[in-house]
Amino acid sequence: MPKDNNAAVRSHRLSDEEIARNFSDMHPPLPRSEALIEADRCYFCFDAPCTTACPTGIDIPGFIQKIRSDNIVGSAHTILRENIMGGMCARVCPTEVLCEEACVRNTHEDKPVNIGLLQRYATDPVFEDNVGLFERGTDSGKRVAVIGGGPAGLSCAHRLSMLGHSSVVFNRDEKLGGLNEYGIAAYKTVNDFAQREVEYILSIGGIEVRNKAVLGENFTLADLQDEYDAVFLGFGLGSVNDLDLANENISGVLNAVDYIAELRQADDKGDLPVGDHIVVIGGGMTAIDIAAQTKRLGAEHVDIVYRRGPDEMGASRYEQEFAQTSGVKIRHWAKPVKLLISDKVAGVEFERTTLDKDGKLTGTGEHYSLNADVVFKAIGQSLSEEALGSITGTLELQHGKIVTDDGRKTSLPGIWAGGDCVYGNDDLTVSAVQDGKIAAIAIDQYLREESNNG
Ligand SMILES: Cc1cc2nc3c(=O)[nH]c(=O)nc-3n(C[C@H](O)[C@H](O)[C@H](O)COP(=O)(O)OP(=O)(O)OC[C@H]3O[C@@H](n4cnc5c(N)ncnc54)[C@H](O)[C@@H]3O)c2cc1C
Ligand code: SF4
């Protein structure tokens, strides 16, 4: 975001100490004594519902049992063999709607086992001490091109390595990690954990990385099909959806995702210019994250405006409450109809919304306005036209995303896909990791069949 001399939009609103406090680790790690008490709360259920609820199928009672017997490396292995990003997922998974929602302790005492923090307790030492838990499989001589170095791409590359195949990761950004590095809220992943995890994943060997290599700009899919035995597409969602309002390009109207990336990469978070009155339009995790983070940078007033009710928001109730306790106001049932402007954005006019008799969202005709010196767009992302445009052949899409079968194979021969770019994915780190893993297993099967037939 360009620096702005307008007094309403300025940097260093808070002291360095306040910013450090506001962006410190959201869920600090458990000390051993507390981890053991928490592990003791687990009933070690047969057919554990928490495991079923985990998109990567981690044996949760199994890893908790190992914590109880102080077998931390064994516990980490149980987690990471299913989810190589189990360290990041321990920090960022919305456990309140996944494993912890399913935990039977909820019905007994209204409080699940704190699976997320136990997972972090088990995995942190492995990343701190770089304990190698996985080995590269016997070299198959096969090479796979992986487009995208986010959770989906890295998970795929790591599993391919375990299965004996080499991969080359082509990644648009300067660093690997995808939204783990550029998107996740700063207080969820402190101390450069995303890069430590990337290094750990690469340490298995057999994964070559080419950063700043962009599909659609530097090469096409056809180039890769000629050179590699299979291709995995894990390029996420490259474009941000527009509000479709007049004057949307005016100064002060920003993409939440770009600002969050700047915040994540800033050496001094206080350098980022922040407005007095911020309006965020959207209802997902990105809306919550931009709102909570700008509030924690010192914005006076931050409003999230969402066109439907709290139950329909993409962000969980827990995330909504987190934003509210950070000082963010969430306004439901209104849609933006007009940007109010002077020489830059000055506010947004909204129309209240409701559901008609057929359950369709409709405007009520009643309007109100909010002042804003910065408006953030956070109404979702879509596939990058550039990347899609470079793909020849009929790649089946639904609602603008790539369609795959259960093994994450696309409609194009020899091409698999996973993560946010795939239709039906729920846009979570853990689901992207699972997609990468499933695709790698399917690619392995395909490559072995090819070898046997050829
Ligand atoms: C602001 C924000 C906050 C979030 N917070 C959470 C959270 O707290 N918890 C959670 O579980 N999920 C969260 N998510 C969702 C989660 O980050 C994503 O679901 C996950 O990162 C998807 O992984 P991916 O690998 O599919 O894509 P990405 O993480 O987007 O990675 C895509 C990779 O592809 C590369 N790429 C893109 N285009 C090209 C191209 N043309 N050529 C080559 N490479 C390319 C990029 O450089 C990038 O490295 C959040 C998302 C956002 C936007
Ligand atoms: S559901 Fe809860 S109590 Fe049961 S195994 Fe999972 S974490 Fe333990």
Residue 204: inside a domain: yes
Please tell me the distance between residue 102's alpha carbon and the centre of ligand 2 in angstroms.
8
For the stretch 145-182, pLDDT in tens is 999 999 999 999 999 999 999 999 999 999 999 999 99
R_g of the chain, CA atoms, integer Å: 23
One domain for residues 234 and 280 = no
Residue where a domain terminates, one of 377, 410, 428: 377
Please tell me the distance between residue 15's alpha carbon and the centre of ligand 1 in angstroms.
31
Q: How confident is the model at residue 7 (pLDDT cuts 50, 70, 90)?
A: low
pLDDT at 453: 79
Q: Is the pLDDT of residue 301 over 60?
A: yes
Distance CA 179, CA 368 (A): 35
Please tell me the distance between residue 163's alpha carbon and the centre of ligand 1 in angstroms.
25
The predicted model scores a pTM of 0.95
Distance CA 283, CA 278 (A): 15
Mean pLDDT of 268-288: 96
Distance CA 390, CA 393 (A): 10
Residue 425: inside a domain: yes
Query: Percent of the chain at pLDDT above 70?
Result: 98
Nearest CA to ligand 1 atom 13: 428
Closest CA to 429 of 194, 144, 78, 79: 194
Nearest CA to ligand 1 atom 3: 184
Nearest CA to ligand 2 atom 8: 42
- H or E segment to which residue 301 belongs: strand 301-305
One domain for residues 171 and 124 = no
One domain for residues 179 and 110 = no
Residue 413, domain extent: 143-238+383-453
In the chain, how many domains are there? 3
Residue where a domain terminates, one of 377, 397, 431: 377
Mean pLDDT of the chain: 95
In degrees, rounded to 5, the angle at the alpha carbon of residue 315 between the alpha carbons of residues 97 and 363 is 130
Residue 1: inside a domain: no
Residue 210: inside a domain: yes
Residue where a domain terminates, one of 377, 407, 438: 377
One domain for residues 255 and 368 = yes
One domain for residues 266 and 369 = yes
One domain for residues 219 and 255 = no
* Cβ within 8 Å of residue 115, ≥6 positions away: 50, 60, 64, 95, 99, 100, 103
Per-residue tokens: 111: 């409080």
One domain for residues 274 and 312 = yes
Q: Which atom of ligand 1 is nearest to the CA of 151?
A: 25
One domain for residues 119 and 156 = no
Mutating to test ligand 1, I would choose from 100, 120, 235, 404 the residue with most ligand atoms within 8 A of its C-beta, which is: 235
Q: Which residues line ligand 2 (CB under 6 A)?
A: 42-45, 48-50, 60-61, 103-105, 113, 115
Q: Would strands 301-305 and 277-281 be described as parallel, antiparallel, or unpaired?
A: parallel
Distance CA 84, CA 132 (A): 12
First-to-last CA distance in the chain? 54
| Cβ atoms 63, 75 nearer than 8 A | yes
CA dihedral 194, 171, 144, 129 (to 10 degrees): -20
The backbone torsions φ and ψ at residue 291, rounded to the nearest 5 degrees and listed phi first, read: -65, -50
pLDDT at 313: 95
Mean pLDDT of 130-143: 96
Query: Which of 31-35, 39-43, 394-398 shows the lowest mean pLDDT across its residues?
Result: 394-398
One domain for residues 232 and 320 = no
Q: How far is CA 63 from CA 77, 79, 122, 373, in A?
A: 8, 7, 8, 49
pLDDT at 5: 45
- Greatest CA separation for the chain: 70
Which amino acid, 217? E
Q: Is the pLDDT of residue 6 over 70?
A: no
- Residue with the bigger pLDDT between 109 and 29: it is 29
Q: Would strands 381-382 and 374-377 be described as parallel, antiparallel, or unpaired?
A: unpaired
One domain for residues 164 and 270 = no
Nearest CA to ligand 2 atom 4: 45
Residue 161: inside a domain: yes
For the stretch 202-256, pLDDT in tens is 999 999 999 999 999 999 999 999 899 999 999 999 888 999 999 999 999 999 9
Q: How far is CA 448 from CA 38, 165, 406, 453, in A?
A: 44, 11, 19, 9
For the stretch 330-375, pLDDT in tens is 999 999 999 999 999 999 999 999 999 999 999 999 999 999 999 9
The backbone torsions φ and ψ at residue 58, rounded to the nearest 5 degrees and listed phi first, read: -65, 140
One domain for residues 253 and 220 = no
One domain for residues 259 and 352 = yes
Residue 25: inside a domain: no
Q: How confident is the model at residue 410 (pLDDT cuts 50, 70, 90)?
A: very high
Mean pLDDT of 122-134: 96
Give the CATH number for residue 325: 3.50.50.60
Q: Is the pLDDT of residue 13 over 90?
A: yes
Please tell me the distance between residue 241's alpha carbon and the centre of ligand 1 in angstroms.
15
Per-residue tokens: 262: 């700047």
Mutating to test ligand 2, I would choose from 103, 115, 119 the residue with most ligand atoms within 8 A of its C-beta, which is: 103
Residue 225: inside a domain: yes
Please tell me the distance between residue 54's alpha carbon and the centre of ligand 2 in angstroms.
12
pLDDT at 2: 44
For the stretch 97-113, pLDDT in tens is 999 999 999 987 779 99
Q: How confident is the model at residue 4 (pLDDT cuts 50, 70, 90)?
A: very low
pLDDT at 439: 98
Give the CATH number for residue 54: 1.10.1060.10
Residue 6: inside a domain: no
